[in-house]
Structure 1
Amino acid sequence: MTATPPRIAATLIMRNEARCIRRCLDSVRPHVDAMVVLDTGSTDGSVAIARACGAQVHHLDWPDDFAAARNHVLTLADADWHLVIDCDEWIVSGGEALRDWCAGPPRLGALCIRSSFDLPQHGGNALPSTRSWIARLLPRGVRYTGRIHEQPVSGLPVERIDLLLDHDGYEDAQAADKRDRNTPMLLAELRNDPQNPYLLYQLGKEAETARDYGRAADWYEQASARTPDGAPWTHGLLIRRLHCLGQSGASEQGIAIAGEQMPHWQESPDFFFVLGNLAMDRALAEPAHALTEWLPLAATAWERCLEIGERPELDGSVEGRGSHLAQHNLDVIRQQLALLSG
């Protein structure tokens, strides 16, 4: 007798997502057995679009708690496996691997989510993007905790699956409303759990997205002091902290921290890319030492990025830092060194 294949459902929380809900559902539909949407008060046509795409749409007044909303839609879906996806995300590749993966034993599936973001004076046609590995493929019975930046609670192992989602919710056009919502919720959570390093890290990310780099660096410093060894966000936290120190005029402190951390991140192009940026900041701050110390350090750091290459498996990595972004910076600095030497 042939075993019945496991039933897979995509679950979403939605409110006023007419901009992107069709893109999300169209990308998911070929790979799941059901799409279950929990609407929390849309007024923009999102519900009609979702239904036209073939989704089941249920309604709930917003509980001011993301875990509660996630858990409600998981209960409604009641599938063997749940693909948890946000409306501003969509499957880019790897969807065809879902069924084989879900035929395996119970575990949490960590997906790669590639988030594009705006940068001041960013050139080129494509926006830079960070890559994060997040547990979003959950077997029946796993539930969430946390009012915001909620996490699945389970003793099951976490295994990566080669499934890539793109996400555009951090771009400026979409991010402002989220910041107004997220930061107060995070601060409320922090009052209940003031030593939680993940909440501190997320507060830093919110401040960084708002380009309040000094405040972000402060949050990241607090998170760094409390983050346990081996935490999955360790790499992203360090890189973001160094970046924000440079952006807030504290490049000297950033260089000192990078020196302490360098032995641990010899295979991270992101680490050496940001180190190169910090060295450039020091060159501007100390022009007398630029040619003999800081510009050569920057060049060496970006050369190391190219030697390492792209490392998408590192949580919080930025696409291009092991390739074209480092090469661009290296070309610019070589021109500057040639001019100064001549």
Structure 2
Amino acid sequence: MTTPSFPVTLCVIVRDEEDVLQRCLQSAKNLVAQMIVIDTGSTDASPAIAQECGAAVYHFEWQDDFSAARNAAIDKAEQPWILMLDADEVIDRESWQEQHLQAIFTQPNVLGCYVQLTHLTHCWDNNLTHKPVCSATDMACRLFRNDARLRYVGRIHEDITASIEAVSSEAICWSSFTIWHDGYTAERIQNKDKAARNLHLLHLQLEEEPLNPLWWYAYGTEYFQSERYAEALPWLLRAITSFSKQPRLPGYASDVWLKAVYAYYSLQQLDSAIRLAEEAMEQFPLFPDLLLLSSTLYAVRGSLAEAYQCADEASACGDRTHLYTSTNGASTWRAHWMAAFLAERVGKYAQAAHHYEHAAAYTSTQYSSAILKSAAAWHRSDWISSSRLMRYAASTSEQNTQTIALPLTQALAASVHFSAAANLLPFVPALQEAASIDWASFTRHFLYDNS
């Protein structure tokens, strides 16, 4: 048996999680000294799977209270540190480096540690080899000392940080440790009926604490995640009104504003969305997701200069996941791509080339990288390179030829490859409306007058 590396107890609460539990426990194996699984009423093979993975299994009667179950797990922990995971989460082992963990363990004043919790938009494959490219990241305190003063509170969206901060306001440190979570993909939400469960628990929580804005935010979030924006918006706005009266905003406040802005937009209330977005940008500077959403709002209104400015600012934000919940690419490739697109439309061609080049640097596929580099070359008047890259993109893409016909034709024509461009013209008519150019003049000038 391999000697465990760290003095940590892994705690997991489960109910009918046989499809994901093994991968969760395997991801922590040999990283922790003890594994505890609290089963709250499984009818599947979850308890047996946990035992096969080396975890101690304890049965706990479900009380409509996640904190009660998590605290029951804490009571069984024997190691000086506790790592709390859900069954639909896995540890990114590459990010859990020994020297970083030891540095935290040896700080006597540290009671807890924020880790990066990355929520995936679709599920892992069974071997954990596929990391989906679309995700959102926030920080959560999942690693903390085994201390009798530290307990979870809340029936749902349970939290350990309040009890840590009651001991010391400076007892939680930050880390780059990463946990991957796919429990809120559309597939898992539907299979587990999480929305109905969560709304039931929130109803009970609101009966106990009707004036706590955290539960207003949580209620709005549940409706938001189900795309029930008309029902989400009043709860989110109510939370915002409460926050405006507080001298110190809670950590999740930025997400409330972001969701409320998006809800307004989804309900086709553009003016209200922009007003709230402008208020939010004053409250939360350098929030890349808010800047990108604001860029979209301005673009829809036709304010392209303001839209470009927001996208450009988002591209310069850097990593802000320690401050704000953020989707991947919000300050990198998505921000640069949006800024490049808008720069074209306001005549900032050098800036468009700059942003296309940076977007390409963050793009993993050969096709997308070549498309972006070609666009950059186009704006730098390097027609030959643009043509070469676009033809390379065409050769590597599995997409239908029509999706690349227009930009490829433009690049080939600009680099005087007229016959090759002419061969693609049959694919172009369906794309003419989106081209935003005078296609008849373009083809007449390049394909006929100069042939």
CA contact (8 A) 1:312 1:319 kept: no
Residue 327 (structure 1) shift: 2.9
Residue 99 (structure 1) shift: 4.1
Equivalent position SS for 1:110: strand
> How many residues align structurally?
322
Does 2:247 match 1:239? no
User: In structure 1, which of residues 128, 133, 137 is the aligned counterpart of residue 134 of structure 2?
Assistant: 128
Residue 189 (structure 1) shift: 0.8
Spell out the pairing of 1:305-320 with structure 2 (5 A cutoff).
305-320=314-329
Residue 117 (structure 1) shift: 2.8
Letter in 1 for 2:335: A
Structure 2 match to 1:287: none
Say if 1:129 and 1:100 are closer, same or farther in 2 by CA, change over 3 A. Answer: same
CA distance in 2, matches of 1:302, 1:315: 17
Structure 1 match to 2:25: 25
Letter in 2 for 1:36: I
Structure 2 match to 1:162: 176
The structure richer in strand per residue is: 1
User: In structure 2, which of residues 116, 141, 145 is the aligned counterpart of residue 139 of structure 1?
Assistant: 145
CA distance in 1, matches of 2:132, 2:156: 29
CA distance in 2, matches of 1:251, 1:127: 29
CA contact (8 A) 1:169 1:175 kept: yes
Structure 2 match to 1:218: 234
Structure 1 match to 2:79: 79
Q: Deviations over 1:83-121 (max 9, x none)?
A: 111111111143233344223224121111011236xxx
Residue 6 (structure 1) shift: 7.6
TM-score (norm 1): 0.87
Q: Deviations over 1:312-331 (max 9, x none)?
A: 22231111111122233344
Q: Deviations over 1:229-285 (max 9, x none)?
A: 23111222222221222112122112112222323333221121110122234x3xx
Structure 1 match to 2:51: 51
CA distance in 1, matches of 2:121, 2:221: 12
CA distance in 2, matches of 1:26, 1:99: 22
Say if 1:127 and 1:205 are closer, same or farther in 2 by CA, change over 3 A. Answer: farther
Letter in 2 for 1:68: A
CA distance in 1, matches of 2:286, 2:343: 23
Question: Gapped runs of 5+ residues in structure 2?
Answer: 123-130, 348-434, 439-451
Say if 1:186 and 1:128 are closer, same or farther in 2 by CA, change over 3 A. Answer: same
Letter in 2 for 1:73: A
Taking only the aligned residue pairs, the percentage that are identical comes to: 27
Say if 1:211 and 1:127 are closer, same or farther in 2 by CA, change over 3 A. Answer: farther
**Which one is further off, 325-334 or 215-224?**
325-334
Spell out the pairing of 1:140-219 with structure 2 (5 A cutoff).
140=146, 141=148, 142-152=150-160, 153-154=163-164, 155-156=167-168, 157-176=171-190, 177-219=193-235
CA distance in 2, matches of 1:301, 1:90: 35
Question: Gapped runs of 5+ residues in structure 1?
Answer: 119-124, 284-289
Moved over 4 A (4+): 331-342
Residue 296 (structure 1) shift: 2.7
Spell out the pairing of 1:65-76 with structure 2 (5 A cutoff).
65-76=65-76
CA distance in 1, matches of 2:220, 2:184: 14
TM-score (norm 2): 0.67
CA distance in 2, matches of 1:99, 1:86: 24
Letter in 2 for 1:113: L
Structure 2 match to 1:297: 306
CA contact (8 A) 2:36 2:55 kept: yes
Letter in 2 for 1:321: A
Higher relative contact order (CA 8 A, sep 6+): 1
CA contact (8 A) 1:35 1:54 kept: yes
Letter in 1 for 2:205: E
CA distance in 2, matches of 1:329, 1:19: 38
CA contact (8 A) 1:6 1:80 kept: no
Q: Deviations over 1:186-242 (max 9, x none)?
A: 122112212211111111211111011222222211111123423111222222221
The structure with more radius of gyration: 2
Structure 2 match to 1:112: 116
